[in-house]
Amino acid sequence: MQKRKLGKSNLEVSALGLGCMGMSFSYGPPKDKQEMIALIRAAVERGITFFDTAEVYGPYTNEELVGEALAPFRGQVVIATKFGWKIDPKAERGLAGLDSRPEHIKQVAEGSLKRLRVDVIDLYYQHRVDPEVPIEDVAGAVKDLIRQGKVKHFGLSEAAAKTIRRAHAVQPVTAVQSEYSLWWKRPEEEVLPTCEELGIGFVPYSPLGKGFLTGKINENTAFDSSDFRSILPRFAPEALKANQALVDLLGKIAARKEATPAQVALAWLLAQKPWIVPIPGTTKLNRLEENIGAVAVELTPDDLREIESAASKITIQGARYPEHIERMTGL
């Protein structure tokens, strides 16, 4: 497995990470814990060293899963987790609004350290920008945790360029995590140029469009009510039908490369910048192996131009989130 550095920080990780959220949260009922532990360990055996979780996934259960699965590999892997939500088990999906007050951040860090079974959190992201708390206070709280040896690196998720700059001035930001793929390219406008200028790594989540870019979902796919995609406008049948053109494009390139659409979608991201590390999630070993295979898919400048040119003619239908959720992003 190739390695990449996240920005100027020298935080070295595998070129692809593993997003662990779907094992416990968001994509239907939680999966069997022992099977997921085996999958995470299989990822380590195949060279993946970068694992992504969050306090709110579950809530709490995903951090516990990742902590148990990776306990034998301390010092060999990088675990990223996140803070910034008010958690109430009675609220929808456990989310009761944002809370990035410094005292809350420090309290959450203690819980995450215990659940992850570590002495220090490798990469600690603010999960969503909290409009009630100045980003300087958030960065200052993480700076304190870094001084205390409880956190190594500071990250932001779904933050706008100006927020990234303000945070970075207080405590250097190692990585920004946001959705990025061929069907959500907003980071290219301001966030990626800001990361490049400041020497910050970029971690695309949902690099396979929440499964859509694999080619395994179509207008007839039915989502369980416990699957987050059931409420996303972009996953409504008419939007899926309209957006199929993008999957067809990936399929065409994949056939030429003897690869799969998912591998081409990931290879496209890897080809954008050397400091981009996608974190596709999966709960299946064959998908994990397919995703890892993307690292070996070589897209030439001509391939990339062809993908860009064809993708630019496709108008993606449907908002990525319902309005009340999109408002919670810092973009």
pLDDT tens across 12-53, in order?
999 999 999 999 988 888 999 999 999 999 999 999 999 999
Q: Is residue 90 part of a domain?
A: yes
Alpha carbon distances (Å) from 316 to 85, 204, 320: 30, 19, 10
Q: What is the reported pLDDT for 331?
A: 58
Q: Is residue 77 part of a domain?
A: yes
Q: Is residue 183 part of a domain?
A: yes
Q: Is residue 262 part of a domain?
A: yes
| pTM for the whole structure | 0.96
Looking at the 3D structure of the chain, how many domains does it have?
A: 1
Phi and psi angles of residue 65, each rounded to the nearest 5 degrees, phi first: -60, -50
Distance CA 176, CA 190 (A): 12
Question: Three-state DSSP class for 173?
Answer: strand
Distance CA 71, CA 77 (A): 10
Catalytic residue among 27, 57, 124, 125: 57
Q: What is the reported pLDDT for 324?
A: 83
Q: Is residue 44 part of a domain?
A: yes
Q: Is residue 331 part of a domain?
A: no
Q: Report the C-alpha dihedral over residues 127, 132, 135, 139, rounded to 10 degrees.
A: -70
Q: What is the reported pLDDT for 330?
A: 63
Q: What is the reported pLDDT for 89?
A: 77
Q: Is residue 220 part of a domain?
A: yes
Q: What is the reported pLDDT for 131?
A: 96
Active site residue 205: no
- Identify the CATH number of the domain in which residue 51 sits: 3.20.20.100
| HEC assignment per residue over 14-81 | ECCCEECHHHCCCECCCCCHHHHHHHHHHHHHCCCCEEECCCCCCCCHHHHHHHHHHHHHCCCCEEEE
Residue 157, domain extent: 3-326
Q: What is the reported pLDDT for 225?
A: 87
Residue-wise DSSP of 234-245: GGSHHHHHHHHH
Distance CA 131, CA 146 (A): 23
Per-residue pLDDT of the chain (331 residues; tens, 9 = 90+): 999 999 899 899 999 999 999 999 888 889 999 999 999 999 999 999 999 999 999 999 999 999 999 999 999 999 999 999 999 877 777 777 999 999 999 999 999 999 999 999 999 999 999 999 999 999 999 999 999 999 999 999 999 999 999 999 999 999 999 999 999 999 999 999 999 999 999 999 999 999 999 999 999 999 988 899 999 999 999 999 999 999 999 999 999 999 999 999 999 999 999 999 999 999 999 999 999 999 999 999 999 999 999 999 999 999 998 988 888 776 5
